[in-house]
Amino acid sequence: MQTQEAVKNSGLNKEENSIRNSAKKFLVNNSMYILLALIVILFQILTGGILLLPMNITNVILQKSYIFILTIGMLMLVLLGDIDLSVGLVLAFTGALSAVLIIENNMNVYLAIFICLLVGLLIGAWHGFWVAYVHVPAFIATLAGLLTFRGLTIVILDGQTISSYPRAFQLMSSGFLTDAFTDNPFMLTLGLGFIFVALYVFMSIRSRMKDLKFGTNTESNTRFILKITAFSLAILWMFYTFGNYEGIPNVLIILTKLGLAAKFITDRTTIGRHIYAIGGNEKAATLSGINTKRVKFWTFASMGVVSAIAGMVFSARLNAASAQAGSGFELDAIAACYIGGASTSGGIGTVVGALVGALVMALLNNGMSLTGVGTDWQMAIKGLVLLFAVAIDIYNKNKG
């Protein structure tokens, strides 16, 4: 009897331990989602329900769209173990270029967008060349870029602010997908939401079948279903919310496309695996036959393109290009990656995590601004959140 109980107990203990372990693992892996949820709840209460109003949710996306976009590009570099300090000023430069081309020289909007993207690519390639082939540390090469492009931005703008883009360009960041079709965006937006969810569920189930077939899956059935339900509800809620305001912002579509592309590259492609490998251990990666130089070069080049996209979105939003734009944006993007669970030494991190990190920063900003906390305190609090988020993350990982 006693022995039986003992056996039972030890079994229970084991079970409890494994539950505790998996709970701990869950917390460590998902700490940014928990942080996000807590911030949402906190500010929803403090703002008396304003935070989750459709208008405010739309505002948050529009307000920080350029940071979200930069974060996607920055994560790739963080995975490599590098950072790019010049993104804010490359953003300012390409934004200024778009203003000079479109406003001052009346160039066709689409041609100008193409030229700006091309210039972004060249700037990124420039940085990539020095980092990958000359082995200038990324910190230095991009710090030089920061100074260079701050100067060049003032040169091409002549120190002035150039304003008033044509409507077609402004729509990039102030327009809504549904503008063109209907005055009542609600049904259309919700409909798109259902289509999106259906696609998401279909893709998830298909990839799970595949994983099961090859036996690479580690997720239990319940967890899979829970996850899919949670994400589907979240997506539906987003669409419902946008539908209740003006519809889906155009910039969210740009952002989603970029995010999905980056997620696909990091999760599903050889280049993605190479990036993780280089970030994990560059020497080992080189020895195993990965062309580290080429991967680095192209990652920096794509950061340039991403910065150019962000630059045009930013200028379209302000409806002006000013010489003082962009300073400090790189730090927001870098902070977002780390809050989103990326490792400072490279090799660890996900696109979704980084975007959640950016959302945490954006909601902190928005929530504090709504509750009337001054920008002085906002900066101080954001600084502390970054520090504690990363410190506790490191502590948890070392312990676990």
Task: Assess 244 for contact with other proteins (CB under 8 A).
Answer: no
Residue whose CB is less far from other proteins, 33 or 196 = 33
Apex 100 CA angle, 97 and 102, nearest 5: 100
Nearest distance in Å: CB 230, other proteins: 17
Q: In this chain, which stretch among 73-81, 113-121, 211-219, 375-383 interacts with other proteins, using CB under 8 A?
A: 375-383
Q: How far is CA 315 from the centre of its chain?
A: 19
Is 85 within 8 Å of 143 (Cβ atoms)?
Answer: yes
What's the distance, CA 343 to chain centroid? 15
> Which 53-92 residues touch other proteins, going by CB under 8 A?
53, 55-56, 59, 62-63
**Could you tell me how far CA 243 lies from the centroid of its own chain?**
23
CB 63 within 8 A of CB 279: no
By the rule CB under 8 A, 393 interacts with other proteins:
yes
Cβ 319 to other proteins, closest distance in Å?
A: 5
Chain residues 128-187 in contact with other proteins, contact rule CB under 8 A? 159, 161, 163-164, 170, 174
The C-alpha atoms of residue 279 and residue 273 are separated, in whole angstroms, by 10
- Min. distance of Cβ 184 from other proteins in angstroms? 16
Contact mark string toward other proteins, 28..47, x via CB under 8 A: ---x--xx--xx--x---xx
For every residue of 66-111, DSSP letters joined together read HHHHHHHHHHHHHHHT---TTHHHHHHHHHHHHHIIIIIT---HHH
Report the C-alpha gap between 246 and 252 in whole angstroms. Answer: 13
Q: What whole-number distance in Å separates Cα of residue 208 and Cα of residue 264? A: 16
Cα distance between residue 355 and residue 33, in whole Å: 11
Tell me if 183 sits within 8 A of 246, measured CB to CB: no
Question: Which of 68, 176, 314, 338 is in the footprint of other proteins by CB under 8 A?
Answer: 314
Does residue number 296 form part of the binding site for other proteins (CB under 8 A)? no
Taking CB under 8 A as the criterion, the residue among 69, 77, 355, 389 binding other proteins is: 389
Q: Compute the residue count for the chain.
A: 400
Contact call for residue 98 and other proteins (CB under 8 A) = no
User: Which residue, 217 or 371, is less far from other proteins as judged by CB?
Assistant: 371
> Which residue matches tokens 């060249």?
122
Closest alpha carbon to 106 in 168, 182, 193, 28 = 168
What is the size of the binding site for other proteins (CB under 8 A)?
Answer: 53
Joined tokens for residue 81: 């173990």
Is 11 a residue that touches other proteins (CB under 8 A)? Answer: no
- Least distance in angstroms from the C-beta of 236 to other proteins: 23
Among residues 107, 319, 331, 348, the one that binds other proteins under rule CB under 8 A: 319
Q: Which residues bind other proteins (CB under 8 A)?
A: 27, 31, 34-35, 38-39, 42, 46-47, 50, 53, 55-56, 59, 62-63, 159, 161, 163-164, 170, 174, 314, 317-320, 322, 324-325, 364-366, 368-377, 379-381, 384-385, 388-389, 392-393, 396
